[in-house]
Amino acid sequence: MGKIPFDIEAALPLVADAVRPYPKAAMFELAERGYRTVFQQLVACVVSIRTRDEESLPLSVRLFDRAPTAAEVAVLTPEQIAALIRPATFWDRKAVQIRDIARRVADDFGGDLPCDEATLRSFSGVGVKCANLALGIACTQRGGAAAGLGGPDDAADPEPERRLIAVDVHVHRVTNRWGYVSAPTPEKTMEALAGVLPPRYDVEINALLVPFGKHICTGVRPKCSTCPVRDPCQQVGVTSHR
Ligand code: SF4
């Protein structure tokens, strides 16, 4: 007998329960600790690129504890920033990018980065994932499952043309294994999700599937035998599991 169609409304609360014991994704954890301006979220995402959350989270905290605002980061030298974010991957290049972001935010925006995707994407080193995460966390009231999953009745859908889906390797892998989308790359998965995911889950999908992908639907031998969504999951591409 075939699997039942994947019901995202039913699955996400189960995923939220399953990931509750695990650390939150770094940017959601930072927001919960009070580092939630658009500038801080954007810089934290730059620090996190190709760097594990366990490493990038304390590095971002160290940077913001030294210099919490764009104006304060802007007067640091790249060497001083590098010393704070090292050993993040590409720490030397990121230090220059962060200093340049801070200078522009301080000089052109009065220190207050607007909630505008085009502005965020205009910075060197900022891709669509970081822009969507920063906007989703800093610019909406629905800061993700960390604060409680927004269910169907909790919030109205945002404007449909302004999607804020941030797809990393975990969101890409899990949603494709589910059979919810079928796409070869994270970028294509983002496009596919925009066509099927209710907009109210744009932010939550990242908050939930990063820890779910790290601890349950792992890259190698996912924990299917105890997975709360194994009934609807199509297990696409899964050849061995626990
Ligand atoms: S059943 Fe397996 S492949 Fe599907 S979501 Fe769960 S852990 Fe991942």
- Kindly state the percentage of the chain with pLDDT values over 70: 90
* 166/198 same-domain check: yes
Q: Does the C-beta of 93 come closer than 6 Å to ligand 1?
A: no
* 172/109 same-domain check: no
Tell me, what CATH number does 205's domain have? 1.10.1670.10
In a domain, 33, yes or no: yes
Q: What is the pLDDT of residues 197-224, one digit of tens each?
A: 999 999 999 999 999 999 999 999 999 9
Q: Does the C-beta of 75 come closer than 6 Å to ligand 1?
A: no
* 56/133 same-domain check: yes
Residue 100 tokens read as: 């340049």
pTM: 0.84
* 31/124 same-domain check: yes
Q: What is the pLDDT of residues 58-71, one digit of tens each?
A: 999 999 999 999 99
Tell me which of 209, 224, 240, 242 to substitute to probe ligand 1's pocket, judged by most ligand atoms within 8 Å of the beta carbon. Answer: 224
136: pLDDT confidence band, cut at 50, 70 and 90?
very high
AA identity, residue 173:
R
26: pLDDT confidence band, cut at 50, 70 and 90?
very high
For this structure, is 129 an active site residue?
A: yes
Q: Of 74, 47, 91, whose CA–CA distance to 66 is shortest? A: 74
Q: Domain residues for 169?
A: 8-22+149-226
What's the sign of the alpha-carbon dihedral 222, 215, 211, 145? positive
